Structure 1
């Protein structure tokens, strides 16, 4: 199975994590600003995370500016927003041997490191 990372090239946190994990050309790399995540890939992550909401970044500036904070969003809403706009994805999304790691929390990065044997 291919190891893959979905990241934002302009995000210093993504760059730091990629460096920390030693992500190189053994990983398929997809800059979500150039090519957003596909619906099928997003579904894989949602299944592992337990929901689309778990993948959704409520810290995105557009979350507040679009008034989404005041709305009661469904799983379909979260999914569609992430497919329409990459800024709503928690990032990075990392797939290592079929296991998903989402976001940049210390716990997530440590779990990815452990999976890679670092």
Structure 2
């Protein structure tokens, strides 16, 4: 499993620790320090199956600073923006063999732990 988040984000740290404490080994990729490529994000979007918007951190400071709520961007424009600025990505993103989880959902993480 691959874990993508932001090291300074307490939610990301809690989610990562939850999985580690449950016996799941994974690497922490800080996507603010090193944002994922457009192709990587596109693969997440396709695996998740609900479009690009679930991956946009609409509650984040950067989203508000850039006035993105008032903009009507295409999926390709979003993908480019997300790959250029990791703070625009909703976090954490967990890539498993069976798909992608976006955000920290304790129940879904517990299910992953129990199914290992």
TM-score calculated relative to the size of structure 2:
0.84
Which position in structure 2 is the counterpart of 1:13? 11
Instruction: Give the distance between the partners of 2:72 and 2:17, measured in 1 at CA.
Output: 37
Unpaired runs of at least 5, structure 1: none
- Check the 8 A contact 2:3/2:26 in 1, yes or no: yes
Does 1:62 find its partner at 2:62? yes
Q: CA RMSD in A?
A: 2.0
Which position in structure 1 is the counterpart of 2:110? 113
Instruction: Give the distance between the partners of 1:67 and 1:74, measured in 2 at CA.
Output: 15
Which position in structure 2 is the counterpart of 1:38? 37
Instruction: Give the distance between the partners of 2:24 and 2:53, measured in 1 at CA.
Output: 30
Which position in structure 2 is the counterpart of 1:75? 75
Instruction: Give the distance between the partners of 2:80 and 2:111, measured in 1 at CA.
Output: 32
- Check the 8 A contact 2:38/2:80 in 1, yes or no: no
Unpaired runs of at least 5, structure 2: none
- How many residue pairs align between the two structures? 113
- Check the 8 A contact 1:96/1:115 in 2, yes or no: no
Instruction: Give the distance between the partners of 2:7 and 2:32, measured in 1 at CA.
Output: 8
Instruction: Give the distance between the partners of 2:99 and 2:24, measured in 1 at CA.
Output: 19
- Check the 8 A contact 1:5/1:94 in 2, yes or no: yes
Cα separation, partners in 2 of 1:34 and 1:65, compared to 1, 3 Å: closer
